[in-house]
Amino acid sequence: MSKFSQFSRSLAIVKKDMLIFYLKGPVIIMGLLFPFFLFGAFLIGRNLSHEYLFVALISMTAFFTSTAVGPTIIPWETRGKTFERLMSSPISITTVLLGDMQASFYFGLFITSAISLIVIFLHISLNLLIFIPAVILALLTFSAMTILMSSYPPTDVPADVMMLSSLVKFTLLFISGIFVPLEKLPLYARAVSAISPLTYLVDALRYSTNLSGYFPLWIDLLALLLFALIFFFSGVAVHKKVLERRFT
């Protein structure tokens, strides 16, 4: 099967995921409601600049929307036996996962773009040549991360995967420089923050406003690209390894 054929078939997976999973309760709660409640709690009682708030809002929106769909697709389909039917059709697991990743990406892209357009009217000075590639790379990275999140354990209980993915997401959220800028963190905390892909989105978004970043911009963008590749291919590898265990 050619790469173009795989990609075209993955679009059918995307359409199926959009119709079935976008309006699921956990997706709405974790992808739409939760980031706004979290941002509201962050905003109350703090005298912060519009630019700082913009970076925090877009970072949280991109992170939570693009990781809301992916972790639950495989467990739901395993429970409904549709994943087993997909695997018995002439389509590779890589193609299926590529479709799932795209579904997460498009969900995050739509919501993040809508919020960005609304907030930009607050007359924030924004460098779109930095903002657009940073957000797209970050959405790809977070969507690829959901492929890895859904790979283990090979369960048909969505709550099991949601619990594990929430633990990972909250850990990354609080070490990524959203609530406390990296330059104000102690050295050991800055070293820990370097393992979070969200850190590099936050830093790149600071460059897109009049705020200063901590890492060089090219490192932020390169790190996001590398994280995306690592997450996707390692997720595919784990899914292949545990595939038989999903059907037993």
Question: In this predicted structure, what is the pLDDT of residue 19?
Answer: 82
Nearest to 74 by CA among 56, 100, 45: 100
Question: In this predicted structure, what is the pLDDT of residue 203?
Answer: 94
Measured CA to CA, the distance from residue 180 to residue 182 in angstroms comes to: 6
Please give the angle made by the CA atoms of 197, 202 and 172, to the nearest 5 degrees.
45
**What's the distance, Cα to Cα, between the start and end of the chain in Å?**
28
B/e letters for 69-96, b = 16+ CB within 10 Å, e = fewer, are: bbbbbbbbbbeeeebeebeeeebbebbb
B/e letters for 151-190, b = 16+ CB within 10 Å, e = fewer, are: beebbbebeebbebbeeebeebbebbbbeebbeebeeeeb
Measured CA to CA, the distance from residue 27 to residue 245 in angstroms comes to: 26
Measured CA to CA, the distance from residue 226 to residue 103 in angstroms comes to: 20
Nearest to 128 by CA among 207, 62, 65: 207
- Cis peptide leading into residue 35 (ω within 30°): no
How is the chain split into domains, by residue range? Answer: 3-246
Measured CA to CA, the distance from residue 94 to residue 11 in angstroms comes to: 13
Question: Largest alpha-carbon pair distance within the chain?
Answer: 57
Question: In this predicted structure, what is the pLDDT of residue 207?
Answer: 92
Reading the chain (248 residues) residue by residue, the pLDDT tens digits are 556 666 777 788 888 888 887 777 777 777 777 777 777 777 776 777 778 888 888 999 999 999 988 888 888 887 777 777 777 777 888 888 888 899 999 999 999 998 888 877 766 778 889 999 999 999 999 999 999 888 876 777 777 777 788 888 888 888 888 888 888 888 888 888 999 999 999 999 999 988 888 899 999 999 999 999 999 999 999 888 887 777 66
CB–CB of 92/10 below 8 Å?
A: no
3-state secondary structure of 137: helix
**Residue pointed to by tokens 């990275």:** 141
Tokens standing for residue 78: 């395993």
Question: In this predicted structure, what is the pLDDT of residue 121?
Answer: 73
Question: In this predicted structure, what is the pLDDT of residue 3?
Answer: 60
Nearest to 148 by CA among 231, 213, 206, 81: 231
* CA pseudo-torsion sign 89, 160, 24, 106: negative
